[in-house]
């Protein structure tokens, strides 16, 4: 999540390539993609997560899917 918050798309891409599950969720029920979509100017991280297999239909703890935040 640190790389998502810091908008470090290169690290996100490397982590996904190394086997990190881009669909895990934090204690608040948010996935890395949910956090990336919520942040402004984070397109490169979003692309890296989707390329790494992030589910676009993931629902957070509030029942929102990533597209609801767009």
d(Cα 70, Cα 66) in Å, to the nearest integer? 7
List of domains in the chain: 2-69 (1.25.40.20)
What's the confidence (pLDDT) of residue 23? Answer: 93
Give rounded-to-5 percent helix, strand, coil for the chain: 45, 5, 50
Adjacent-strand bridge partners of 65? 59
* Tens-place pLDDT, residues 10-50: 999 999 999 999 999 998 888 999 999 888 889 999 999 99
Give buried/exposed letters for 11-33 (b at 16+ CB in 10 A, else e): ebbebbeeebebeeeeeeebbbb
- Residue 64's pLDDT band (boundaries 50, 70, 90)? confident
Entry pTM:
0.84
Q: Report yes or no: 49 and 36 within 8 Å, Cβ to Cβ.
A: yes
């Amino acid at each position: 999540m640190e790389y998502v918050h810091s908008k470090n798309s290169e690290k996100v891409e490397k982590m996904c390539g190394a086997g990190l599950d881009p669909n895990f969720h934090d204690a608040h029920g948010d996935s890395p993609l949910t956090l990336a979509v919520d942040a402004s100017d984070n397109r490169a991280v979003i692309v890296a997560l989707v390329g790494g297999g992030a589910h676009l239909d993931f629902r957070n703890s509030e029942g929102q899917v990533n597209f609801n935040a767009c």
